[in-house]
Amino acid sequence: MFFVSLLSPKGKGKEAIAYLKKLKAPRGVTVHDVYVTLGRYDAVVVFEAADSRKAMSFAADIGIETGYLVETLGAVPAKEV
C-alpha cells in the first residue's frame, strides 16, 4: 500500500531537512523518495507500508523527529483504478 506524507512548515528547519535526507525506514516500510517542496508544504515523503498501522507509526515518528505537522494520505496508482 502506498502513502504520501505532507509535512507542514512548523518544524525545526535545517535540522528537519537533515533528518529527512537520512530518513531510514523501519521494517515493513519502504521509502520511495523524499522531496523538499516550495509552497504550502516543506516536504513530501512517498513510501510503501505493509499496512495502515505501520504507515501511521512511521508518519508519527517523522512528525516527532522533525517537529512538523504531518498529513498522510493513502495512495493508489492511477493505472490500478
If you classify domain 2-76 with CATH, what class do you get?
Answer: alpha beta
Which ranges in the chain belong to alpha helices (H)?
14-21, 52-66
What are the structural domain ranges in the chain? 2-76
pLDDT tens, 45-80?
Answer: 999 999 999 999 999 999 998 889 999 999 999 999
SS3 80: helix
User: Cβ distance 9 to 78 under 8 Å?
Assistant: no
pLDDT tens, 18-53?
Answer: 899 999 999 999 999 999 999 889 899 999 999 999
Q: CA 53, 38, 15 angle in degrees (round to 5)?
A: 65
